[in-house]
Amino acid sequence: MSLDHIFDESQPIYQQIVQRINAKILRGEYPPGGKLPSVIEAAMIYKVNHNTVARAYSELIRSGIAATQRGEGTFVTRDEAMLERMAREMKRALMTDFLQSSQALGISVDEMIAFLKEASDQADAPSEREKG
């Protein structure tokens, strides 16, 4: 079951849609040059008004992540450098949030590294269901 339609009330929905589309681009669900869903299709996916999706798409176009081809639709940029910059910025923002939250809790950098290694090991280990 998709959770694409669940949004955080503290941030505008169109911005959250931009973030979700950017994440899908990073994961390869929308490859460079790939077509994004139409505004109407995306409105149905996210269960929002089509104007909200249109605003999100406008933001993607303004930032250079996507471009509209008249009569064809909206496509992810083929500019690999642009996509790499976007990936770096998203990763940097994620790590900055993580560091600030950790520091607010009084967690040292060494503890953060240890927790990350532990969590990574647990994520890499096969679950009991996968073993059996």
Is residue 18 domain-shared with residue 74, that is, in the same domain?
Answer: yes
Q: Is 8 inside any structural domain? A: no
pLDDT of residue 124: 85
The answer to whether the beta carbons of residues 44 and 38 sit under 8 Å apart is no
What CATH number should be reported for the domain holding residue 38? 1.10.10.10
- Same-domain status, 18 and 58: yes
Q: Could you tell me if 50 and 94 lie in one domain?
A: no
Is the residue at 63 inside a domain?
Answer: yes
Domain count, the chain: 2
Same domain, 73 and 17: yes
User: What pLDDT shows up at residue 129?
Assistant: 58
| Per-residue pLDDT tens over the stretch 51-103 | 999 999 999 999 999 999 999 999 999 999 999 999 999 999 999 998 899 99
9-42 confidence digits (pLDDT tens): 999 999 999 999 999 999 999 999 999 999 999 9
Please report whether residue 4 resides in a domain.
no
Are 44 and 100 in a shared domain? no
Q: Which domain holds residue 46?
A: 13-78
**Which long-range contacts (C-beta less than 8 Å, at least 24 apart) are formed by 25-34?**
25/65, 25/76, 25/83, 25/86, 26/83, 26/86, 26/87, 26/90, 30/76, 31/76, 32/76, 32/77, 32/78, 32/79, 32/80, 32/83, 33/75, 33/76, 33/77, 33/78, 34/75, 34/76
